[in-house]
Structure 1
Amino acid sequence: MPKFAANLTWLFRELPFMDRFAAAKEAGFEGVEVLFPYDCPTQDMRDQLVVCNLTFVLMNCPPPNATGGRQGFAAVPGLSDRFRHDFERTLRFAQVLKPLHIHIMAGPAEGPEAEAVFIDNLRWAAARAPQQSLTIEPINRFDMPGYFLADYDTAARVLDAVAAPNLALQFDAYHAHRITGDVMGSWTAHGHRARHVQVAGFPGRHEPRGGDIDYPAFFSRLDSDGYTGWVSGEYAPETETGEGLAWIR
Protein backbone atom coordinates (compact mmCIF):
# COMPACT_ATOMS: atom_id res chain seq x y z
CA MET A 1 0.00 0.00 0.00
CA PRO A 2 1.13 3.60 -0.54
CA LYS A 3 2.32 5.93 2.20
CA PHE A 4 -0.70 7.93 3.38
CA ALA A 5 -0.68 11.54 4.57
CA ALA A 6 -3.43 13.63 6.12
CA ASN A 7 -4.29 17.04 4.76
CA LEU A 8 -4.75 18.96 8.02
CA THR A 9 -6.54 21.81 6.26
CA TRP A 10 -9.38 19.39 5.44
CA LEU A 11 -9.13 16.61 8.04
CA PHE A 12 -9.61 16.72 11.83
CA ARG A 13 -11.37 20.07 11.58
CA GLU A 14 -13.35 19.15 14.68
CA LEU A 15 -10.12 19.89 16.57
CA PRO A 16 -8.07 23.07 17.06
CA PHE A 17 -5.43 23.26 14.34
CA MET A 18 -2.41 22.52 16.52
CA ASP A 19 -4.11 19.41 17.92
CA ARG A 20 -4.56 17.92 14.44
CA PHE A 21 -0.93 16.81 14.17
CA ALA A 22 -1.17 14.44 17.14
CA ALA A 23 -4.60 13.27 15.99
CA ALA A 24 -3.21 12.39 12.56
CA LYS A 25 -0.35 10.43 14.10
CA GLU A 26 -2.69 8.58 16.44
CA ALA A 27 -4.95 7.71 13.49
CA GLY A 28 -2.07 6.04 11.67
CA PHE A 29 -0.77 8.74 9.34
CA GLU A 30 2.98 9.18 9.00
CA GLY A 31 2.84 12.41 7.00
CA VAL A 32 0.73 15.56 6.82
CA GLU A 33 0.20 18.46 4.48
CA VAL A 34 -1.20 21.93 5.13
CA LEU A 35 -2.43 23.94 2.19
CA PHE A 36 -1.69 27.41 3.56
CA PRO A 37 0.40 27.24 6.75
CA TYR A 38 0.83 30.98 7.01
CA ASP A 39 -1.50 32.01 9.83
CA CYS A 40 -0.12 29.92 12.70
CA PRO A 41 3.27 30.29 14.40
CA THR A 42 5.70 28.51 12.12
CA GLN A 43 7.96 27.18 14.85
CA ASP A 44 4.97 25.80 16.76
CA MET A 45 4.00 23.82 13.65
CA ARG A 46 7.56 22.57 13.25
CA ASP A 47 7.59 21.51 16.90
CA GLN A 48 4.41 19.49 16.39
CA LEU A 49 5.93 17.79 13.36
CA VAL A 50 9.00 16.82 15.36
CA VAL A 51 7.17 15.74 18.53
CA CYS A 52 4.71 13.63 16.52
CA ASN A 53 7.42 12.30 14.18
CA LEU A 54 5.51 13.36 11.08
CA THR A 55 6.83 14.14 7.63
CA PHE A 56 5.64 17.51 6.30
CA VAL A 57 4.72 16.53 2.79
CA LEU A 58 3.33 19.61 1.06
CA MET A 59 2.29 23.25 1.28
CA ASN A 60 0.86 25.66 -1.30
CA CYS A 61 2.23 28.83 -2.83
CA PRO A 62 1.19 31.63 -2.78
CA PRO A 63 0.15 32.62 0.73
CA PRO A 64 -3.61 33.30 0.84
CA ASN A 65 -4.83 36.64 -0.38
CA ALA A 66 -6.32 38.26 2.73
CA THR A 67 -8.62 40.38 0.60
CA GLY A 68 -9.95 37.40 -1.38
CA GLY A 69 -9.64 37.07 -5.12
CA ARG A 70 -7.13 34.96 -7.02
CA GLN A 71 -5.71 31.71 -5.73
CA GLY A 72 -2.36 31.89 -7.41
CA PHE A 73 -0.55 34.27 -9.74
CA ALA A 74 2.02 32.14 -11.54
CA ALA A 75 0.16 32.11 -14.88
CA VAL A 76 -1.47 35.53 -14.69
CA PRO A 77 -0.03 38.05 -17.19
CA GLY A 78 1.16 41.20 -15.50
CA LEU A 79 1.49 39.63 -12.04
CA SER A 80 4.91 37.99 -12.24
CA ASP A 81 6.33 40.43 -9.69
CA ARG A 82 3.53 39.50 -7.29
CA PHE A 83 4.15 35.80 -7.83
CA ARG A 84 7.89 36.11 -7.22
CA HIS A 85 7.37 38.22 -4.11
CA ASP A 86 4.97 35.61 -2.73
CA PHE A 87 7.30 32.75 -3.66
CA GLU A 88 10.08 34.36 -1.63
CA ARG A 89 7.73 34.52 1.36
CA THR A 90 6.80 30.86 0.90
CA LEU A 91 10.49 29.93 0.89
CA ARG A 92 10.95 31.67 4.24
CA PHE A 93 8.22 29.49 5.72
CA ALA A 94 9.67 26.44 4.02
CA GLN A 95 13.04 27.00 5.68
CA VAL A 96 11.37 26.23 9.01
CA LEU A 97 8.66 23.75 8.00
CA LYS A 98 10.84 21.79 5.54
CA PRO A 99 8.11 20.54 3.19
CA LEU A 100 8.96 17.81 0.72
CA HIS A 101 6.99 19.67 -1.96
CA ILE A 102 5.69 23.17 -2.64
CA HIS A 103 2.65 23.30 -4.92
CA ILE A 104 2.72 26.39 -7.13
CA MET A 105 -0.78 27.58 -7.99
CA ALA A 106 -1.33 28.97 -11.48
CA GLY A 107 -4.30 31.23 -10.79
CA PRO A 108 -7.09 32.29 -13.14
CA ALA A 109 -5.97 32.97 -16.71
CA GLU A 110 -6.26 31.60 -20.23
CA GLY A 111 -4.53 31.53 -23.57
CA PRO A 112 -0.99 31.32 -24.96
CA GLU A 113 0.23 34.40 -23.09
CA ALA A 114 -0.76 32.86 -19.76
CA GLU A 115 1.04 29.63 -20.63
CA ALA A 116 4.18 31.56 -21.55
CA VAL A 117 4.02 33.51 -18.27
CA PHE A 118 3.51 30.26 -16.32
CA ILE A 119 6.52 28.63 -17.97
CA ASP A 120 8.70 31.69 -17.34
CA ASN A 121 7.70 31.92 -13.68
CA LEU A 122 8.20 28.20 -13.11
CA ARG A 123 11.66 28.34 -14.67
CA TRP A 124 12.50 31.21 -12.35
CA ALA A 125 11.13 29.41 -9.27
CA ALA A 126 12.91 26.15 -10.08
CA ALA A 127 16.20 28.01 -10.45
CA ARG A 128 15.55 30.11 -7.33
CA ALA A 129 15.08 26.99 -5.16
CA PRO A 130 16.96 24.18 -6.93
CA GLN A 131 16.95 21.88 -3.90
CA GLN A 132 13.22 22.24 -3.28
CA SER A 133 10.73 19.93 -4.99
CA LEU A 134 7.98 21.94 -6.71
CA THR A 135 4.70 20.69 -8.15
CA ILE A 136 1.91 21.90 -10.41
CA GLU A 137 -1.60 20.46 -10.26
CA PRO A 138 -4.43 20.46 -12.80
CA ILE A 139 -7.55 21.66 -10.97
CA ASN A 140 -11.01 21.27 -12.45
CA ARG A 141 -12.94 24.40 -13.35
CA PHE A 142 -16.15 23.22 -11.70
CA ASP A 143 -14.51 23.69 -8.30
CA MET A 144 -12.25 26.57 -9.34
CA PRO A 145 -13.76 28.48 -12.29
CA GLY A 146 -11.26 30.09 -14.62
CA TYR A 147 -8.22 28.28 -13.23
CA PHE A 148 -5.51 28.20 -15.88
CA LEU A 149 -4.07 24.72 -15.33
CA ALA A 150 -7.22 22.67 -15.87
CA ASP A 151 -6.05 19.70 -17.98
CA TYR A 152 -3.21 17.19 -18.08
CA ASP A 153 -2.04 17.86 -21.60
CA THR A 154 -1.31 21.47 -20.68
CA ALA A 155 0.50 20.34 -17.54
CA ALA A 156 2.64 17.95 -19.60
CA ARG A 157 3.45 20.66 -22.12
CA VAL A 158 4.45 23.08 -19.34
CA LEU A 159 6.58 20.51 -17.54
CA ASP A 160 8.39 19.63 -20.76
CA ALA A 161 8.99 23.30 -21.54
CA VAL A 162 10.38 24.08 -18.10
CA ALA A 163 12.41 20.85 -18.01
CA ALA A 164 13.55 21.37 -14.42
CA PRO A 165 14.44 18.29 -12.37
CA ASN A 166 12.83 19.77 -9.25
CA LEU A 167 9.44 20.41 -10.91
CA ALA A 168 6.87 17.61 -11.30
CA LEU A 169 3.18 16.80 -11.49
CA GLN A 170 0.80 16.73 -8.55
CA PHE A 171 -1.93 14.21 -9.40
CA ASP A 172 -5.25 14.62 -7.61
CA ALA A 173 -7.56 11.70 -8.43
CA TYR A 174 -10.69 13.71 -7.57
CA HIS A 175 -9.70 16.48 -9.99
CA ALA A 176 -8.67 13.89 -12.58
CA HIS A 177 -12.15 12.39 -12.46
CA ARG A 178 -13.75 15.82 -12.77
CA ILE A 179 -11.52 16.72 -15.70
CA THR A 180 -11.41 13.48 -17.67
CA GLY A 181 -13.88 11.05 -16.10
CA ASP A 182 -11.08 8.46 -16.27
CA VAL A 183 -8.67 8.37 -13.33
CA MET A 184 -6.87 5.24 -14.49
CA GLY A 185 -6.49 6.52 -18.03
CA SER A 186 -5.18 9.85 -16.77
CA TRP A 187 -2.68 8.07 -14.55
CA THR A 188 -1.60 5.81 -17.40
CA ALA A 189 -0.89 8.84 -19.58
CA HIS A 190 0.65 11.13 -16.97
CA GLY A 191 1.44 9.21 -13.79
CA HIS A 192 5.11 8.91 -14.71
CA ARG A 193 5.34 12.66 -14.16
CA ALA A 194 3.75 12.56 -10.69
CA ARG A 195 5.66 13.25 -7.51
CA HIS A 196 2.66 13.64 -5.20
CA VAL A 197 -0.87 12.20 -5.19
CA GLN A 198 -4.05 13.41 -3.50
CA VAL A 199 -7.34 11.56 -3.15
CA ALA A 200 -11.01 12.20 -2.36
CA GLY A 201 -14.24 10.43 -3.15
CA PHE A 202 -16.54 11.30 -6.02
CA PRO A 203 -19.20 12.57 -5.90
CA GLY A 204 -19.16 14.71 -2.79
CA ARG A 205 -15.40 14.97 -2.19
CA HIS A 206 -15.71 12.89 0.95
CA GLU A 207 -13.71 9.82 2.01
CA PRO A 208 -11.96 8.01 -0.87
CA ARG A 209 -14.14 4.91 -0.79
CA GLY A 210 -17.04 3.69 -2.90
CA GLY A 211 -18.48 6.18 -5.38
CA ASP A 212 -17.26 6.57 -8.94
CA ILE A 213 -13.52 6.07 -8.31
CA ASP A 214 -12.22 2.56 -7.61
CA TYR A 215 -9.63 3.45 -5.02
CA PRO A 216 -8.51 -0.09 -4.11
CA ALA A 217 -7.69 -0.57 -7.80
CA PHE A 218 -6.00 2.84 -7.97
CA PHE A 219 -3.84 2.14 -4.92
CA SER A 220 -2.89 -1.25 -6.36
CA ARG A 221 -1.96 0.47 -9.60
CA LEU A 222 0.29 2.91 -7.75
CA ASP A 223 2.05 -0.04 -6.14
CA SER A 224 2.43 -1.95 -9.38
CA ASP A 225 3.79 1.13 -11.14
CA GLY A 226 6.40 1.59 -8.42
CA TYR A 227 5.10 4.92 -7.16
CA THR A 228 7.04 5.72 -3.99
CA GLY A 229 5.63 9.14 -3.10
CA TRP A 230 2.92 10.07 -0.64
CA VAL A 231 -0.85 9.78 -1.10
CA SER A 232 -2.67 12.49 0.80
CA GLY A 233 -6.31 12.49 1.85
CA GLU A 234 -7.64 15.89 0.79
CA TYR A 235 -11.37 15.57 1.39
CA ALA A 236 -14.26 16.75 3.55
CA PRO A 237 -15.11 14.00 6.07
CA GLU A 238 -18.76 13.05 6.13
CA THR A 239 -18.73 12.98 9.94
CA GLU A 240 -15.84 13.19 12.40
CA THR A 241 -12.57 12.39 10.67
CA GLY A 242 -11.72 9.31 12.71
CA GLU A 243 -14.96 7.56 11.81
CA GLY A 244 -14.06 7.48 8.10
CA LEU A 245 -10.43 6.33 8.06
CA ALA A 246 -10.93 2.69 7.11
CA TRP A 247 -9.55 3.59 3.64
CA ILE A 248 -5.99 3.88 4.99
CA ARG A 249 -6.12 0.49 6.68
Structure 2
Amino acid sequence: MGTLPLRDGLTSQLTASYVSGKLTVTARRDAGWQQPALFIDSMEDVDFGKPSFTSRGDTLTATVPVTDSWGEAAPDLSGKTLSLVLADSGQAQESQIAVAAGSAAPGLALGWVLLMALAGGLILNVMPCVLPVLAMKLGSLVQTERRERGAVRRQFLASVCGIVVSFLALALMMTALRLGNQALGWGIQFQNPWFIGAMALVMVLFGASLLGLFEIRLSSSASTFLATRGGTA
Protein backbone atom coordinates (compact mmCIF):
# COMPACT_ATOMS: atom_id res chain seq x y z
CA MET A 1 0.00 0.00 0.00
CA GLY A 2 1.34 3.44 -0.91
CA THR A 3 1.93 6.11 1.67
CA LEU A 4 0.62 9.66 1.57
CA PRO A 5 3.20 12.40 1.01
CA LEU A 6 4.30 14.30 4.11
CA ARG A 7 4.08 18.04 4.57
CA ASP A 8 7.77 18.28 5.45
CA GLY A 9 10.80 16.20 6.32
CA LEU A 10 12.26 15.59 2.86
CA THR A 11 13.74 18.97 2.01
CA SER A 12 15.36 21.66 4.08
CA GLN A 13 14.77 24.32 1.42
CA LEU A 14 12.43 24.49 -1.58
CA THR A 15 12.07 27.31 -4.12
CA ALA A 16 10.55 27.76 -7.57
CA SER A 17 11.07 30.32 -10.31
CA TYR A 18 9.69 30.80 -13.81
CA VAL A 19 11.16 32.44 -16.90
CA SER A 20 10.88 31.98 -20.66
CA GLY A 21 8.56 28.98 -20.57
CA LYS A 22 10.61 27.04 -18.02
CA LEU A 23 9.76 26.32 -14.40
CA THR A 24 12.79 25.72 -12.18
CA VAL A 25 12.32 23.98 -8.83
CA THR A 26 15.33 23.95 -6.50
CA ALA A 27 15.42 21.75 -3.40
CA ARG A 28 18.03 20.97 -0.75
CA ARG A 29 18.25 17.70 1.16
CA ASP A 30 20.91 16.91 3.72
CA ALA A 31 21.05 13.22 2.71
CA GLY A 32 21.51 14.05 -0.98
CA TRP A 33 19.47 12.76 -3.92
CA GLN A 34 19.24 9.29 -5.45
CA GLN A 35 16.20 8.92 -7.73
CA PRO A 36 14.14 12.12 -7.47
CA ALA A 37 10.65 12.48 -8.92
CA LEU A 38 8.51 15.60 -9.24
CA PHE A 39 4.73 15.77 -9.67
CA ILE A 40 2.95 19.10 -10.19
CA ASP A 41 -0.81 19.53 -9.88
CA SER A 42 -2.45 20.67 -13.09
CA MET A 43 -3.53 24.28 -13.62
CA GLU A 44 -6.07 25.75 -16.00
CA ASP A 45 -4.62 26.34 -19.49
CA VAL A 46 -1.14 25.23 -18.35
CA ASP A 47 0.64 22.06 -19.40
CA PHE A 48 3.69 20.90 -17.43
CA GLY A 49 6.14 18.75 -19.38
CA LYS A 50 8.48 16.03 -18.18
CA PRO A 51 11.02 17.43 -15.68
CA SER A 52 14.75 17.03 -16.09
CA PHE A 53 16.93 16.77 -12.98
CA THR A 54 20.46 17.84 -12.13
CA SER A 55 21.97 17.41 -8.67
CA ARG A 56 25.10 18.79 -7.08
CA GLY A 57 25.77 17.75 -3.53
CA ASP A 58 22.65 18.30 -1.46
CA THR A 59 21.02 20.59 -4.06
CA LEU A 60 18.58 19.32 -6.67
CA THR A 61 17.43 21.40 -9.65
CA ALA A 62 14.38 20.30 -11.63
CA THR A 63 13.61 22.07 -14.91
CA VAL A 64 10.06 21.70 -16.23
CA PRO A 65 8.98 22.94 -19.69
CA VAL A 66 5.70 24.84 -19.51
CA THR A 67 3.26 25.43 -22.35
CA ASP A 68 -0.38 26.32 -22.72
CA SER A 69 -3.09 24.04 -24.11
CA TRP A 70 -2.07 25.06 -27.63
CA GLY A 71 1.49 23.90 -27.09
CA GLU A 72 2.97 27.39 -27.01
CA ALA A 73 4.41 29.58 -24.26
CA ALA A 74 2.19 29.49 -21.18
CA PRO A 75 0.99 32.57 -19.29
CA ASP A 76 3.46 33.95 -16.79
CA LEU A 77 3.45 31.82 -13.63
CA SER A 78 5.32 34.39 -11.56
CA GLY A 79 3.51 35.08 -8.28
CA LYS A 80 1.21 32.07 -8.58
CA THR A 81 1.11 29.20 -6.09
CA LEU A 82 1.87 25.65 -7.19
CA SER A 83 0.97 22.42 -5.47
CA LEU A 84 3.67 19.82 -6.04
CA VAL A 85 4.99 16.55 -4.67
CA LEU A 86 8.72 15.86 -4.54
CA ALA A 87 9.80 12.29 -3.87
CA ASP A 88 13.07 10.40 -3.44
CA SER A 89 14.17 7.10 -1.87
CA GLY A 90 10.66 6.05 -0.85
CA GLN A 91 9.88 9.36 0.85
CA ALA A 92 7.58 12.06 -0.54
CA GLN A 93 6.77 15.61 0.46
CA GLU A 94 3.79 17.69 -0.65
CA SER A 95 4.31 21.45 -0.75
CA GLN A 96 2.52 24.64 -1.66
CA ILE A 97 5.07 27.01 -3.13
CA ALA A 98 4.93 30.50 -4.62
CA VAL A 99 6.67 30.94 -7.96
CA ALA A 100 9.18 33.75 -8.17
CA ALA A 101 10.17 35.56 -11.35
CA GLY A 102 13.49 34.26 -12.64
CA SER A 103 16.13 36.31 -14.40
CA ALA A 104 15.83 36.11 -18.18
CA ALA A 105 18.87 35.42 -20.28
CA PRO A 106 20.19 38.47 -22.14
CA GLY A 107 18.60 38.75 -25.57
CA LEU A 108 20.43 39.03 -28.85
CA ALA A 109 21.23 42.44 -30.23
CA LEU A 110 18.96 43.69 -33.00
CA GLY A 111 21.83 43.63 -35.47
CA TRP A 112 22.44 39.91 -34.88
CA VAL A 113 18.72 39.15 -35.21
CA LEU A 114 18.53 40.96 -38.55
CA LEU A 115 21.72 39.25 -39.75
CA MET A 116 20.37 35.79 -38.88
CA ALA A 117 17.07 36.61 -40.58
CA LEU A 118 18.96 37.65 -43.72
CA ALA A 119 21.04 34.47 -43.63
CA GLY A 120 17.90 32.36 -43.22
CA GLY A 121 16.30 34.07 -46.20
CA LEU A 122 19.36 33.46 -48.36
CA ILE A 123 19.38 29.78 -47.39
CA LEU A 124 15.69 29.45 -48.25
CA ASN A 125 16.36 30.90 -51.70
CA VAL A 126 18.40 27.85 -52.72
CA MET A 127 15.63 25.39 -51.83
CA PRO A 128 14.22 23.39 -54.77
CA CYS A 129 10.81 24.99 -54.38
CA VAL A 130 12.21 28.53 -54.58
CA LEU A 131 15.32 28.47 -56.78
CA PRO A 132 13.52 27.74 -60.10
CA VAL A 133 11.17 30.66 -59.49
CA LEU A 134 14.13 32.96 -58.86
CA ALA A 135 15.69 31.77 -62.11
CA MET A 136 12.57 32.79 -64.00
CA LYS A 137 12.51 36.16 -62.26
CA LEU A 138 16.17 36.79 -63.07
CA GLY A 139 15.53 35.76 -66.66
CA SER A 140 12.88 38.44 -66.94
CA LEU A 141 15.23 40.94 -65.32
CA VAL A 142 17.87 40.33 -68.00
CA GLN A 143 15.39 41.63 -70.56
CA THR A 144 14.97 44.90 -68.69
CA GLU A 145 16.67 46.92 -71.43
CA ARG A 146 14.00 45.82 -73.88
CA ARG A 147 11.16 46.74 -71.61
CA GLU A 148 9.97 49.68 -69.59
CA ARG A 149 11.63 49.78 -66.18
CA GLY A 150 8.36 50.78 -64.55
CA ALA A 151 6.75 47.57 -65.79
CA VAL A 152 9.58 45.51 -64.31
CA ARG A 153 9.19 47.24 -60.96
CA ARG A 154 5.45 46.59 -61.01
CA GLN A 155 6.05 42.90 -61.68
CA PHE A 156 8.43 42.51 -58.75
CA LEU A 157 6.14 44.56 -56.51
CA ALA A 158 3.21 42.33 -57.47
CA SER A 159 5.25 39.23 -56.56
CA VAL A 160 6.17 40.67 -53.15
CA CYS A 161 2.59 41.74 -52.44
CA GLY A 162 1.33 38.29 -53.41
CA ILE A 163 3.69 36.62 -50.95
CA VAL A 164 2.83 39.02 -48.11
CA VAL A 165 -0.92 38.80 -48.70
CA SER A 166 -0.80 34.99 -48.85
CA PHE A 167 0.99 34.72 -45.51
CA LEU A 168 -1.30 37.31 -43.91
CA ALA A 169 -4.35 35.37 -45.10
CA LEU A 170 -2.90 32.15 -43.70
CA ALA A 171 -2.11 33.83 -40.37
CA LEU A 172 -5.61 35.32 -40.14
CA MET A 173 -7.16 31.93 -40.87
CA MET A 174 -5.07 30.24 -38.17
CA THR A 175 -5.90 33.01 -35.69
CA ALA A 176 -9.63 32.71 -36.39
CA LEU A 177 -9.54 28.93 -35.93
CA ARG A 178 -7.62 29.20 -32.67
CA LEU A 179 -9.96 31.87 -31.33
CA GLY A 180 -12.67 29.30 -31.99
CA ASN A 181 -10.95 27.01 -29.44
CA GLN A 182 -9.33 24.85 -32.10
CA ALA A 183 -6.03 23.29 -30.96
CA LEU A 184 -4.05 24.16 -34.08
CA GLY A 185 -0.46 24.97 -34.88
CA TRP A 186 1.81 25.27 -37.88
CA GLY A 187 1.99 21.97 -39.76
CA ILE A 188 -1.07 20.55 -37.99
CA GLN A 189 -2.54 19.61 -41.39
CA PHE A 190 0.10 16.90 -41.79
CA GLN A 191 -1.55 15.01 -38.93
CA ASN A 192 -4.69 14.59 -41.03
CA PRO A 193 -4.64 11.38 -43.12
CA TRP A 194 -6.98 12.93 -45.72
CA PHE A 195 -4.61 15.84 -46.27
CA ILE A 196 -1.60 13.53 -46.55
CA GLY A 197 -3.48 11.34 -49.03
CA ALA A 198 -4.44 14.37 -51.14
CA MET A 199 -0.86 15.65 -51.17
CA ALA A 200 0.42 12.19 -52.15
CA LEU A 201 -2.05 12.12 -55.05
CA VAL A 202 -0.94 15.57 -56.21
CA MET A 203 2.72 14.51 -56.15
CA VAL A 204 1.95 11.31 -58.11
CA LEU A 205 0.04 13.26 -60.76
CA PHE A 206 2.79 15.88 -60.97
CA GLY A 207 5.47 13.20 -61.34
CA ALA A 208 3.45 11.43 -64.04
CA SER A 209 3.15 14.73 -65.91
CA LEU A 210 6.91 15.28 -65.74
CA LEU A 211 7.45 11.75 -67.10
CA GLY A 212 5.29 12.61 -70.11
CA LEU A 213 2.40 10.32 -69.29
CA PHE A 214 0.04 13.25 -69.72
CA GLU A 215 0.13 17.04 -69.88
CA ILE A 216 -1.82 19.65 -67.98
CA ARG A 217 -2.61 22.47 -70.38
CA LEU A 218 -4.57 25.66 -70.18
CA SER A 219 -7.35 26.25 -72.63
CA SER A 220 -6.38 28.06 -75.82
CA SER A 221 -8.35 31.15 -74.80
CA ALA A 222 -6.60 31.34 -71.41
CA SER A 223 -3.17 30.86 -73.00
CA THR A 224 -3.89 33.59 -75.55
CA PHE A 225 -5.14 35.95 -72.85
CA LEU A 226 -2.02 35.53 -70.70
CA ALA A 227 0.33 35.79 -73.69
CA THR A 228 -1.22 39.01 -74.96
CA ARG A 229 -1.78 40.62 -71.57
CA GLY A 230 1.74 40.21 -70.19
CA GLY A 231 2.72 42.39 -67.26
CA THR A 232 1.68 40.95 -63.90
CA ALA A 233 -1.01 38.65 -65.33
The TM-score bracket by the shorter chain reads under 0.3
Highest relative contact order (Cα 8 Å, sep 6+), 1 or 2? 1
Return the structure number with greater strand share.
2
- TM (norm. structure 1) is 0.18
TM-score between both structures, scaled by the size of structure 2: 0.19
